[in-house]
Chain A
């Protein structure tokens, strides 16, 4: 992958008569995919070594032997004529599919891969409708390989993508092929479960339903899911993800390709991060002196409190989970000091291909530095409160589990100082201070995060917020508006425009539109990859997942515009 540089010689060749150029040393499959010509394949993946065992990519080449060859392991030679769609090639492909399906259970109705299964897709495109195989199908085991991966041996086509992933990407080598021929299956070594931090990626890599993520298995069907291109809020790596939701609830998070950030991968912790938004400890109602009230009542009280206090006597506290927009608003509407709390470090991991899972579990630590500059953990706020200079603190705490403020600060906050709290969790601050508003989780809000390498990326709301939660941006802007900072309440994009105008050094020239799907580096960032170099020709996840997503877009646009969506209107019809 990485050597697709300009120095490599270009080799002209043809596929089905159309001319293309390959880079020297490139295989037929690679060159075809890079040029946008699709040759079906299972076992080949750009990040893995070539195994050549699925035989799905058969093509005929001239010069070459009279029998078909695998495109994934045939290097393009000058003037090579590749025949990828003649009768002869299609017959070979059909034959391969017949072999693959000979022992396949065909249990698509209960298989969670159905809808994004490459075996289904290619059978539909190239397969036969009948099978000559009348013998009894072999039975292979069905069990959990690790805490989150469920294996169904009968569905496995033995492409060994999962095995190579564990050997070549994570380097943990848990998986292996046991036995031979039609009684072979994938298994772990006894007592060594598949529990590396990236184990969920094996399910993404598996082109069929043999490896599935037991976290979301049997909960929905993939064709119902609507993906939102967002960024994981689990750590400072900032993996690009699709937050896939149905019925306004997130069902799973899958990686999106972004080479400098997360390649094709994401970690298991990140896959679970959407669960932080559905905990019981979440604050989902506004509070006035600890009592649940309507949002509007709380807002009026907060506005009174805010306008009764001079700006210089207002401090703010926030966390490494606040978006750049929220940080900018906090800084704008207060004149007192600020403090930021960070989650403690967690486990780090680096794959052999350079994907770094950061130990820093705060998605926007770099953003805090870019927007606020030099802030401490609340030391100055504490001093201000103790000396009586600070009378009101605006607390904006979107950290899952609640921020863990320093002891001294906690003591100071427990005193007479007033506070307007916007909190994801129902923390002691939200329960005891004057006004509290529920905050949003990253899967519910719009904004931007800056990852560990200085890439500014967009977070997009995938589901709606619970109850009448308005979120940080809305509340902070209402406060700022009452003090005359802004004429009106803006969307996240509008706030970002203000931010870009206010700090041109870091954010100058950046817009939401420009950030697109893969983000842009801030000035002076470590990762300076331009947007058009972030994605290769190969997506994360099964090939047909991407196709399905595109089909779904079209389908939705054409005739699924029902305001009610699928299903019954529950309760109140």
Chain B
């Protein structure tokens, strides 16, 4: 049944041996309970042992001559598979046309994200954290091949060459493809610190040959997403969720639902009422037939306008909520006398609206669980699943599939939809697969939004018009359950406009109420970059300076050579300062997020008061460019994502109910609105930084700045279209 992807399917719950702790490949297993056992090891107790090849957990070379890169990072469109495969292939000198990529099983000890300590894809870290690790994996495998050939041919290893998956000894004319040397190579111990190439030796990385491996499968309907999983005996479930956040089931009548042909069971789970059926449409009809009474005593019943009014009041400091000081320097209390620039921003709740609505397939058999889905933070999904089932995280096996988009949605720290599916599969039991399907409406009204936020900014400038004192008050729900709410003002203290001020005061108020918030592509950078980049254009105007020159001066003073370089490159390629046709204006913005710096110049005009963007010229410094074409793709896609949000997106609550639940009321940018996005990559040999997110946050302020240039009007809320609805 499950042969659609043409891949052999693993048996339902497989245990290829238990991995007790972090060690892999022979004799290093720690004894559980010893003092050295750390959190990672505990999480991994019972975890599926990776398919260990002689070449370690990241590389497999098979007799058919193919090299399989086992990727610990999830592919959700951002190109993580191709970038990491290229690192291995480069150092291995593999034949790039015979390299494929496979998702790693869930195993925190082996496959953790080195910058997070858990198995997770996010924060645009895939390329950066794997840079040394995956190149080393390739280099170690290459060294083993070389040693195997040297031993077999009785020649010096130093005389051996490797190219396109073929090992050769020019002196004797002997050659062998990898496949021929497999047995001999498997007997060689992997070197611990193999020699890595220097960037000038790269023949694959940084070239246009680094192209996606999945384009064919994704262009023929063959790519297997969670939505496409078909397993023997599988049931499909939908869940009736409360109409407001914080509401719960009071009572329900499932009699009519049970009468729907194909409905198998109806029961309550913590998040609502589950309807389980033999196929999707039966589950939907069953759910439509449910009668549920909701208890809304503790529900959030306010509308977006009320929340924003409350936020504005909170920001004045007159309410009960106390702020956290995120950064303070100089004497801000005395710094704001005389003429002060002041503005405020209201930024909406945003839904991720990934093209594939959230979904999951779970099988529960006692204390053993198998999940087949596009897991983005496997470690967290394992822990949350284990809590729901009453088992160990390592007993939760995950087969990670490609995601039909995520933009952070599948990285929810509550594993909301995953746990929901697990509860249903637990009730069904017996290892029977249950696929949870969310409709678009379920997906859009389930929360995990980019937080609604309000900002008040005061800037006192010096005689030349440059920031001397900067006060930044933010109000937004926190993304993390503990710690300071730094995301609300992400990176603000290091933004040169703020860092140059002598007196700085950054405070955040973090109201708590039941609307769930989460990471949305580029996270806090969407707010910080919007606010600071639009403020800076207004300050430039006040000072009578060209916005690019004004920024340059600040970057020079602050020694920010990276911002300076992308600004100059973007301005030069965009023809900054050259006249445009009547009615058009350019807007500029610069932003750093996740270690990557982006500058964009947008050409904008207003039609019936609505911005139309025709061209966006961008420059990006993401360190060494591993996959240049994918960097361009992420700039194109990130810009579309950011522009879509800036033009249209806002999740609106009416009496606590989400009122826009599908694409008719939450419009997404369409092809006729897509600007031409040009990407210029700054040459660099620095360690690569991420690209999945930094393309998103710069376009909104670039458009706002173009509107400012066209009309003299400042933007104080987003989205640009229908902004009045929230204010």
Whether A and B are associated in the same complex: the answer reads no
Residues of A within 8 A of B (CB): none
Residues of B within 8 A of A (CB): none
